[in-house]
Amino acid sequence: MSSPTVGLFVTCLIDLFRPSAGFAAIALLEDAGCQVEVPEIQTCCGQPAYNSGDRKDAILVARGLIDAFAPFDYVVVPSGSCAGMIRHHYPGLFAQMPELARQAQALADKTHELVSFLVDVLGVKQVPVAFKGKLAYHDSCSALREMGIHDQPRQLLSSMDGAELVALENPETCCGFGGTFCVKYPEISGRMVDDKARDIEASGADTLVGPDLGCLLNMAGKLRRRGAAVEVRHVAEVLAGKTDKTPPIAADPKRS
Amino acid sequence: MPEIKSPAFQANVNQAMGDAQLQQALAKLKGGFQVNRVTAAGKLPEFETLRDQATGIKEHTLAHLDFYLEAFEEKTRAAGGQVHWACTAADARRIILELCRQGGAGKVIKGKSMITEEIGLNDFLIHNGLEVVETDLGEYIIQLRNEPPSHIIAPAIHVSKEQVADDFREAHEALDPQRPLAEPRQLLDEARHILREHFLSADVGITGANFLVAETGSVVIVTNEGNGDLTQTLSKMHVVVASLEKVVPTLEDSATLLRLLARSATGQELSVYTTYATGPKREQDPDGPGSFHVVLLNGGRTDLLGGPLNDVLRCIRCGACMNSCPVYGAIGGHAYGWVYPGPIGAVLTPALIGMEKSHHLPHASSFCGKCEEVCPVRIPLPKMMRHLREKSYEKGALPRTFLAGMGFWAFLARRPRLYRTAANFLARALAWAAMGRGALKHVPFAAGWTSERDLPAPEGRSFFAQYRKQKKGEKP
């Protein structure tokens, strides 16, 4: 493939909380031979409105993304949830508007989650990165169930020199984030993430990675509240070998 | 109708989360049914194909419901039984009471039936002077405790065996108070002994139905205790109470669905007892009821046909969605506040009793999608919950602060340049508020977050603020 053009959809949470994961995604895509651009007129995929029942605002926000990403061969998203929103829910959102529905379908067809794009579309089999330690991978629900992502990240993570992948007991159980769910029903969400944190702590992993920042913020926040020493990072940061500059999510910076 | 406690969902949740005994029971559920289902499905190579077939059978039947229901009625009549149509729960209760009186009932015994829970039958019959005894062990236990079921296939899952022992001592006064009841076996033997007497002395037996077969007029029930068989064969009158969507076209179809039902529910290949009952006892039959009645409840179901919630009528009540649901796993069944808990309840409850009384239920989901993943008839439960959320959004039924926040966010999200500035400001403000630490313990406008976990601090400037700076630096 002669260097495809990729529009990176950074996602609102990475923009706000974890720019490192966005830059790591760019590095991974460029290393794999893509021409990456990050259109500045992107904001959010509209999922907060969509899942709250606010279809009107979801449509208005989604329209912005359709325009922003029209020019690219591919749209790549370092999030299974936002990629799933575009891939599986955009076409239905515009069902009553034929021209926009066509554009939404075209966008849906070329939108991929980052790691599955690297493996399934670009054929990346390994990353030339060394990683010392035990890694656990959390399957975020949308990545797993909407986007069918399971083996791809595990393949790349275990290709890292020195990395040992350990399994969570329930890697496919929801962490309790669920977008606005986690603040609308904090007690239920809190119980779910507490169960998840216990699973992570029991796995013996010293680093937890995942494909979705929302879930990672939730788990990192709970692990920290519980006083657990597990480091949490977006999967892109680890695969790009960019773990030296930025402290893990929710971790205090190391004092030099 | 059973009491509707769904409006108090938040309070129900708090109570459930603080109930150590319930939490222990729920922890066991995760390792039981859920694991067994995966094992059973894994052993059957055609499991996924069966799910497609089952979905097709249900879709087809719902699209031709009138035809199959009339066919069922005709075949039931031909077999010597009678079909009674009940538009509402009140109609069903009235019809059943009349039947019980016709059957000369002093005592009514019951097999497990969620529809009779839905119409609040027991209280109604008891109020009208009948004695009603549940014969499914779980149902018997919760009847003694005067509680509703907390799970559709394991109604007493929230009760410990110690509590059962206490309930038995209190209820079975005639037995030796010093008898040992610590072991499950002892509890089972005692229940069996007590229930046996009820089976032999009852006049009318009421059961539910897992399927109604249009081809033959047969009623299919599955149980693990055989109580359903005794209920229907030993009584003088058998009354089946079922909702309309239980009908399937053929015996073959019922067999396809049976292959999925127990595997999805408990992980068994089949339930221990599967019984097809067609009409009353015939002359050459050694046993069976003298008369056979099927009460068909609509209860609002035909309103769902052809609409956005049509597919919820595919449900075969296996319970797989609640067994796998992390929300059900955290709060149990009673918190949902009506008859059907878990993800199916989060759709069926608003569908049957209205969003006004149950608006929390479809919102209280992380949309993890596990329910849809395990549903044997592939009901898109998250999609339906989202539809119900749209209904409550349209009605403005969400908290005002939430709506205001959402409106403000949507305003910004449609204006990329303003959004950039706001995002960068928020990122820097939160990072500043963290004062060099990796996370914040309390954030006033995010109390729902920080009540349960720390809020990780942003790195500092937003991605786009940094990206823009980098790009500027690249330019010559």
- pLDDT the model gives residue B399: 83
pLDDT digits (tens, 9 = 90+) for B416-461: 999 999 999 999 999 999 999 999 999 988 899 999 999 999 999 9
Q: Phi/psi of residue A136, each to 5°? A: -115, 140
B463·A190 Cβ contact <8 A: no
Do A93 and A42 share a domain, yes or no?
yes
Q: Are B213 and B264 in contact (CB under 8 A)?
A: no
| Among B297, B301, B312, B299, CA closest to B388 | B312
Do A99 and A141 share a domain, yes or no?
no
Interface test with A, best of B17, B28, B366, B414 (most A CBs within 10 A): B366
Do A33 and A92 share a domain, yes or no?
yes
The CATH number linked to A134 is 3.40.50.11810
**What is the band of B403 on the pLDDT scale with cuts at 50, 70, 90?**
confident
Bridge partner residues of B221 (DSSP): B275
In sign, the C-alpha dihedral spanning B467, B468, B469, B470 is positive
Compute the distance between CA of residue B200 and CA of residue B324 in angstroms, rounded to an integer: 39
B359 lies within 8 A of chain A by CB: no
Task: Look up the domain containing A218 and give its range.
Answer: 126-239
In sign, the C-alpha dihedral spanning A15, A18, A22, A25 is negative
Q: What CATH number should be reported for the domain whose range is B32-297? A: 3.40.50.10420
Contacts of B463 in chain A (CB under 8 A): 10, 14-16, 18-19, 22-23
Distance from CA of A50 to the nearest CA of B (A): 8
A12 lies within 8 A of chain B by CB: yes
B448 lies within 8 A of chain A by CB: yes
- Tell whether A247 is covered by a domain: no
A24 lies within 8 A of chain B by CB: no
A87 lies within 8 A of chain B by CB: no
Task: Provide the number of CB pairs (under 8 Å) joining chain A to chain B.
Answer: 210
Side-chain half-sphere CA neighbours of A178 within 13 A = 30
Angle between helices B184-201 and B137-145 (to 10 degrees): 90
- pLDDT the model gives residue A1: 53
pLDDT digits (tens, 9 = 90+) for B42-88: 999 999 999 999 999 999 999 999 999 999 999 999 999 999 999 99
Give the SS3 label for residue B440: strand
Q: Say if strands B107-110 and B204-207 run parallel, antiparallel, or are unpaired.
A: parallel
Residue B474 has pLDDT above 80, yes or no: no
Which helix (H) or strand (E) segment holds residue B350: the answer is helix B342-353
- Tell whether A161 is covered by a domain: yes
Give the nearest partner residue to B330 out of A14, A20, A188, using CB atoms. Answer: A188
Do A142 and A97 share a domain, yes or no?
no
Closest alpha carbon within chain A to B27: A195
Interface test with A, best of B403, B424, B453 (most A CBs within 10 A): B453
- pLDDT the model gives residue A255: 63
Burial B319-339, CB ≥16 within 10 A → b, else e? bbbbbbbbbbbbbbbbbbbbb
Distance from CA of A72 to the nearest CA of B (A): 19
In chain A, the number of structural domains is: 2
pLDDT (tens, 9 = 90+) of chain A, 256 residues, equals 578 999 999 999 999 999 999 999 999 999 999 999 999 999 999 999 999 999 999 999 999 999 999 999 999 999 999 999 999 999 999 999 999 999 999 999 999 999 999 999 999 999 999 999 999 999 999 999 999 999 999 999 999 999 999 999 999 999 999 999 999 999 999 999 999 999 999 999 999 999 999 999 999 999 999 999 999 999 999 999 999 989 999 999 876 5
The CATH number linked to A106 is 3.40.50
B390·A53 Cβ contact <8 A: yes
Q: What is the mean pLDDT of chain B?
A: 95
Do A68 and A111 share a domain, yes or no?
yes
A51·B389 Cβ contact <8 A: yes
- Tell whether A186 is covered by a domain: yes
Do A165 and A190 share a domain, yes or no?
yes
- Tell whether A248 is covered by a domain: no
pLDDT digits (tens, 9 = 90+) for B341-382: 999 999 999 999 999 999 999 999 999 999 999 999 999 999
Give the SS3 label for residue B205: strand
Domain final residue, candidates A104, A120, A136: A120
Which helix (H) or strand (E) segment holds residue A59: the answer is helix A55-68
How far from the centroid of its chain's Cα atoms is residue B401's Cα? 32
**Mean pLDDT confidence for B284-304:** 96
- pLDDT the model gives residue A17: 98
A250·B461 Cβ contact <8 A: no
Closest alpha carbon within chain B to A50: B386
- pLDDT the model gives residue B400: 86
A141·B369 Cβ contact <8 A: yes
Do A22 and A80 share a domain, yes or no?
yes
Give the SS3 label for residue B186: helix
Q: Measure Cα distances from B462 to A21, A61, B424, B427 in Å.
A: 12, 20, 5, 6
**Mean pLDDT confidence for B90-111:** 96
Contacts of A231 in chain B (CB under 8 A): none
- pLDDT the model gives residue B475: 58
Residue B30 has pLDDT above 80, yes or no: no
Q: Measure Cα distances from B166 to B13, B24, B138, B179 in Å.
A: 26, 18, 15, 12
ipTM for the complex? Answer: 0.96
Compute the distance between CA of residue B467 and CA of residue B166 in angstroms, rounded to an integer: 67
- Tell whether A185 is covered by a domain: yes
How far from the centroid of its chain's Cα atoms is residue B332's Cα? 11
Query: What are the sequence ranges of the domains in chain B?
Result: 32-297, 400-474
Q: Which two tokens stand for residue A163?
A: 């990395």
Do A130 and A61 share a domain, yes or no?
no
Domain final residue, candidates A89, A120, A151: A120
| Amino acid, single-letter form, for residue B143 | Q
Residue B476 has pLDDT above 70, yes or no: no
Using only the alpha carbons of chain B, give its radius of gyration.
26
B332 lies within 8 A of chain A by CB: no
A 196-225 residues with CB < 8 A to B: 217-218, 220-222, 224-225
Do A19 and A102 share a domain, yes or no?
yes
Interface test with B, best of A18, A55, A66, A187 (most B CBs within 10 A): A187
pTM confidence score? 0.96
Give the SS3 label for residue A240: coil
Give the nearest partner residue to B439 out of A15, A176, A224, using CB atoms. Answer: A224
| Residue B297, C-beta contacts closer than 8 angstroms, at least 6 positions apart | B86, B89, B92, B115, B118, B119, B241, B242, B243, B244
- pLDDT the model gives residue B360: 96
Compute the distance between CA of residue A42 and CA of residue B474 in angstroms, rounded to an integer: 22
Q: Are B132 and B122 in contact (CB under 8 A)?
A: yes
Q: Are A57 and B410 in contact (CB under 8 A)?
A: yes
Do A28 and A132 share a domain, yes or no?
no
Closest alpha carbon within chain B to A186: B448
Do A95 and A184 share a domain, yes or no?
no
In sign, the C-alpha dihedral spanning B334, B339, B345, B349 is negative
Burial B68-99, CB ≥16 within 10 A → b, else e? bbebbbebbeebebbbbebeebebbbebbbeb
